[in-house]
Structures are given as structure tokens and as C-alpha cells.
Amino acid sequence: MTEKTRGKRTTLVHGGTRRSQYGEVSEAMFLTQGFVYDTAEAAEERFVQAGPDEFIYARYGNPTVRMFEDRMAAITGYEDAFATASGMAAVNGALMALSKTGDHVVASRALFGSCLYVLESVLARFGVEITLVDGTDNAAWDAAIRDDTTLVFLEAISNPTLEVIDLRHVVEVSHKVGAKVIVDDAMATPIYSYAAECGADICVISTTKHVDGQGRMLGGVVCGDRETIRGPIETYLKHTGAALNPFSAWVHLKSLDTLDLRVRAQAGCALQIAQALETHSKLARVSYPGLASHPQHEVAMSQAESGGTVVAFEIDGGKEACFRFLNALEIFTISNNFADSKSIVTHPATTTHQRLPQAQKDILGISMGLVRLSVGLEDPDDLLADLMQALEAV
């Protein structure tokens, strides 16, 4: 049976495995910067053309990192992948490697703040024209994508408001003019990611999120066709020092063993919480792509089998009510990451999105009453009881 015909869970455990001469069961951690050559001739040869199992320097590649890259490519459905030190190194690498002065990039407006910085403050500085659109509006994409558009960038599910983009539509319109589509797929999770299936050319993932999923590691990966990944993407990333370190790659590999189990348990619990909160009298609105009341529910369910692990809602009474709610929670911890095994609560308007100008907060729907929950691996009954008692305190 080839790797291609295997299921995702088998691939998560075995994909890309390379064994040393010792035949170790668990993936080996090659904590080495460099590699030695038997002869001067062998060194010369490797610098001319390194074979698939030959390495030169860990900034270019390392056996443990390569295992992680091959496994990520296999589970996301892409030919190849390059692993990076963080999700932002992956986003920056993909955008910088694939654009040049005079290019036109269209992106959805509801982006992670650092992604917006790379587009508006870095790429724009080098003469790349950026057009931002309301990602949920197919007509807005149609109007913004031009004959000279070269790249399209979007988050399939936005953070923190959980807007869902009709990826198949955006890919179709982009490919008509020859533009490449880059999807930032942190929120969708590698288990439910539909980027490859919908035809996205490149998928970037912050593996800090669900892949590590236990609050320890920063990491990222750029996935795509082999020509692009081992061409412009690798060239840019290896020369600019974005490589993932072997220790982080090893922790990530061990995390992939349980990724499917963790994400399914977290997403199942998130749905349960969203359903229970939907009718709560103290909440103005509950947003979860898995709820029939979500504005893009049908699109979301046609692209993934789950609404994911994050739930957002609005509490009547603004900041004061939210803070009372956050401070009353006993199991949910107040933090700003998501996709952790520990459940997390975030007040985006005063933390992760504090610096956004008010006008932009208004456009994106980041109000003072908005709360984001990242659902972890605790007992669903305990999490529900915690949320209900904290809402009583509001």
C-alpha cells in the first residue's frame, strides 16, 4: 500500500518516516547543524546536487525536519512542504518568495494582524499593490481580481470572528487570470483543511496551533507543488534563516501522532458548547461555522466536515460584562493563543486586536462584547458548567 492510498490517521503516525541504521521505533532527533562527507569529492558532489537523503546544513534541511515536512505534505494533500520557525515565517516566506515590484495582490480583510502587517507594511514598501476585500462576498473578489493580479491571500476561516470564505469560488476566479492562491489555514486545522481539495496552490499553516496543540512550540509550514516549494519557496526561506529547528520538528512529529484524536475531540466539544450557548439569554450572538445559524454555514460544511475548535460570541454589556465573565471562569484560562489542549478564553478587542483602529474593528466586527473561546481537551460537561457559572456572574 502506498502512502497516497492510506488514511489520514495512518499517515499522521507513519508518513515521511526515515530510520537511521539503528532501526529506532520513535523518530530520531538529529540535533545537528552540519553533516560530514567521506571525501572531498563527496562534499563537492553534494554541493552540486544533494540527493533526497543528503543534507548540507540545517538552515537548508535536516533529517528530522524533513520527516516533519514530508508528513505535513502527506496529510494536507500537497506534494511537498518547507517547515519554518513560526507561522509568520511561513506566511512572510510564501508572500515574499512569490511576489515582486509591480505585482497586484488581493487579500481578504479579516486577517491575522501580523499577516496584515506583511501585506500592507512590507510588500507595499517594495511596490506591491494590495487590495483588501470582504472575504465573504464573492462579488467583491470578482471585482478586485484583475488580469494583472498575481497572488490572492486569505484565511479560509477568519480569526476571531470566524467568517468563512468560499474557497472554490476564489480559486476559480484567481486561476482564470493566472493568479496563485495562498491560504493561511491555521484555523481550519490540518485535519479539516480543505485547501488542497479546493485547488489552493499554496497552504501555509501555523503549526504553533493545532499541530503542537499543547502550548510548547512555535512552528509553521508552507505546503504546495514540488516545483514551487523546492524552487522559490525553499530558496527564499533557506537564505533568509527561517528554518524550523530539529528539536521543534521532533516535538511536532510526536504531536502529529495524536492530532486527529485531539482535533476531533476538541471540535466535537466546540460544537456542543456552541449549541448550548446559542440560546443563552445573556448572549447577543454565537458564531460557529458548524451552527446552522452561521451566515456561511453551507459553504463551511461543503468545504470541511466540522466547524473547528474555536467558538466566538457576543455578551450583552460590552467590556465590563466580558471582563466579569473572563474573571469568573475557573477552567478556561485567559490567554491569547488558540488550539491548545487547555481551553482558553480571549477578549480580542483589548488584547490581540487592541491596536487596530476603531474603524477597522467596526468593519471586522470586533466589538467590546466579543469573546473568543478555544476549546481544549477537558471534559465537555466541566467546560459547559464553567461557562454557565461564569455567565451567571455577568
Contacting residues toward ligand PLP, per CB under 6 A: 86-88, 91, 112, 114-115, 155, 159, 184, 186-187, 206, 208-209, 218, 220
Q: Which is nearer to ligand PLP, 87 or 93 (CB)?
A: 87
* Beta carbon of residue 208, minimum distance to ligand PLP (angstroms, whole number): 3
* Beta carbon of residue 55, minimum distance to ligand PLP (angstroms, whole number): 25
* Beta carbon of residue 155, minimum distance to ligand PLP (angstroms, whole number): 5
Distance in angstroms (rounded) separating the CA atoms of residues 271 and 287:
11
Q: Which is nearer to ligand PLP, 186 or 299 (CB)?
A: 186
Q: Are the C-beta atoms of 266 and 288 separated by less than 8 Å?
A: no
Residue keyed to cell 462579488: 139
Residue facing ligand PLP at closest CB distance: 87
DSSP state of 100: -
DSSP helix/strand/coil, 315: strand
* Beta carbon of residue 109, minimum distance to ligand PLP (angstroms, whole number): 14
Q: Which is nearer to ligand PLP, 187 or 322 (CB)?
A: 187
Distance in angstroms (rounded) separating the CA atoms of residues 82 and 4:
19
* Beta carbon of residue 211, minimum distance to ligand PLP (angstroms, whole number): 10
* Beta carbon of residue 183, minimum distance to ligand PLP (angstroms, whole number): 10
Q: Which is nearer to ligand PLP, 208 or 306 (CB)?
A: 208
Strands 220-224 and 283-287: unpaired
Q: Which is nearer to ligand PLP, 94 or 315 (CB)?
A: 94
C-alpha cell at 23: 532501526
Strands 149-155 and 180-184: parallel
The angle at the Cα of 145, spanning 144 to 150, to the nearest 5 degrees, equals: 135
* Beta carbon of residue 205, minimum distance to ligand PLP (angstroms, whole number): 9
Whether the link from the prior residue into 348 is cis, omega within 30° of 0, is: no
C-alpha cell at 371: 469573546
Q: Are the C-beta atoms of 169 and 125 separated by less than 8 Å?
A: no
Q: In this structure, how many other beta carbons lie within 10 angstroms of the beta carbon of residue 211?
A: 31
Q: Which is nearer to ligand PLP, 16 or 348 (CB)?
A: 348
Q: Are the C-beta atoms of 362 and 255 separated by less than 8 Å?
A: no
